[in-house]
Amino acid sequence: MPVILSIVGKSGSGKTTLIEKLVPELKRRGMRIGTIKHAAHNIEMDKPGKDSWRHKQAGADTVMVVAPQTIAMVKSMPSPNLDGLEKYFDDVDLVLTEGFKSGPMPKIEVFRQAAHAKPLCRGDDQLIAFVTDTTFAIDVPSFGLNDVAQLADLIEERCSSARYVRRAP
């Protein structure tokens, strides 16, 4: 099973931008990456009127669209947490989630001083890194918004440690 890390922060902090920078950096290092985006609202897989949308509107619990080189799926689930989602990512080394700030997995917080007055995860024992545009006294490694290679080093080290622990007898 893959390592799961959540990229968290308040709205407008730059979570998506950080993921857009991290994914290519980690892929250059040979890692296979999956992502999960937490959405606060219902999602539609396809445009209204398309066949997959019509399948879902008809009541299908799971809808999958298969095209050359692509598979997309919408699945109705009772709770918006990560329990049970790992099975869909058995072919990757790392899953970066965006959101899931209250979940039990390790977190990297993105904090921009101009957007918010105080960090979200201060005191959270699952916080492993802090990405910011300011100096802030916090008890985890801190990175600038563009320190992607250094943050990737930390993530790569964490993934290597997790794989070693999983394989140990």
Q: What is the CATH number of the domain that holds 100?
A: 3.40.50.300
User: pTM for the whole thing?
Assistant: 0.84
Residues 47, 110, single domain; the answer is no
Per-residue model confidence (pLDDT) at position 44: 65
Q: What whole-number percentage of the chain has pLDDT above 90?
A: 41
The reply to whether 46 and 34 lie within a common domain is no
Amino acid 94: pLDDT: 93
On whether the CB atoms of residues 5 and 73 are closer than 8 A, the answer is no
**Run of H or E residues at 3:** strand 3-8
Residue 41: what pLDDT? Answer: 66
Q: How many domains does the chain have?
A: 2
CA–CA dist 121, 123 (Å, integer)? 6
Residues 88 and 146 in one domain: yes
pLDDT for the residue 43: 66
Which residue is it, tokens 């910011």? 132
User: 169 pLDDT band (50/70/90 cuts)?
Assistant: very low
Residue ranges making up the domain that contains 48:
42-78
Instruction: Enter the tokens of residue 39.
Output: 């959405």
Residues 59 and 33 in one domain: no
Q: What is the pLDDT of residue 148?
A: 97
Reported as type and span, the H/E element at residue 56 is: helix 51-57
Check pLDDT > 50 for residue 70. yes
* 125 pLDDT more than 60: yes
Res 56 pLDDT > 90: no
pLDDT of residue 102: 82
Assess whether 117 and 99 both reside in one domain.
Answer: yes
Q: Does the pLDDT of residue 166 top 60, yes or no?
A: no
Say if strands 94-98 and 70-75 run parallel, antiparallel, or are unpaired.
unpaired
pLDDT band, residue 130 (cuts 50/70/90): very high
Q: In the numeric block, which tokens belong to residue 96?
A: 């970066």
Q: How far apart are CA 116 and CA 7, in angstroms?
A: 16
Q: Is pLDDT at 83 greater than 60 in this prediction?
A: yes
